[in-house]
Amino acid sequence: MAKQKLRIRAVRLEPEFNKRIERATREGGFSNPSAFIRGAIERELAGRESGVDAAEERLAASLDRLSREIRGVKLGQQALFAFVDSLVKTLLTCVAEPPRDAHDQAVARGKVRYDRFLKSVGAGMAGDSSAAMAELLKRGEEN
């Protein structure tokens, strides 16, 4: 196996900083200042890699938490839809049809009440209620 050629990196140091490096070299038991500098660089690079790992772990935990929250919202939405579906079925089962002679008038009053209902729903919605209201009114006009 061929020995790889070592690269030389030259760094200019202030005299006081150089004295600190030489003192740390002696105190740390390094053979020379170059060995101390190589060790410091390796520790710095290893610390940065562990920082990246920690950031990845925080990101994964955040995504996991968001996934659980979205799942909870989805379940709540499904429960609300099932509730409204059951309520409408009960209402349609229990409410009597209007007499034939008053049918057109009842349909007209029902449409007015339905429009008021949609406006009330839109006003009660949090967030982007204007877009939701427009969508509800669009659906109401189609029916």
pLDDT on residue 2: 63
pLDDT at 129 over 60: no
Segments of the chain assigned E as strands: none
Type of residue found at 88: V
pLDDT beyond 70 at 52: yes
Per-residue pLDDT averaged across 10-38, rounded? 90
Confidence band for 82, pLDDT divided at 50, 70 and 90: confident
Q: What percent of the chain has pLDDT over 90?
A: 18
Q: Long-range contacts: 84-88, Cβ < 8 Å, 24+?
A: none
Banded pLDDT at 96 (limits 50, 70, 90)? confident
What's CA 101's distance to the chain center, in Å? 56
Task: Identify residue 52 by its one-letter amino acid code.
Answer: V
Q: How much is the mean pLDDT over the chain?
A: 83
Minimum mean pLDDT range among 27-31, 111-115, 122-126? 122-126
Q: Please give the average per-residue pLDDT across 55-72, as a whole number.
A: 91
pLDDT of residue 143: 59
Question: Does the pLDDT value for residue 25 go beyond 80?
Answer: yes
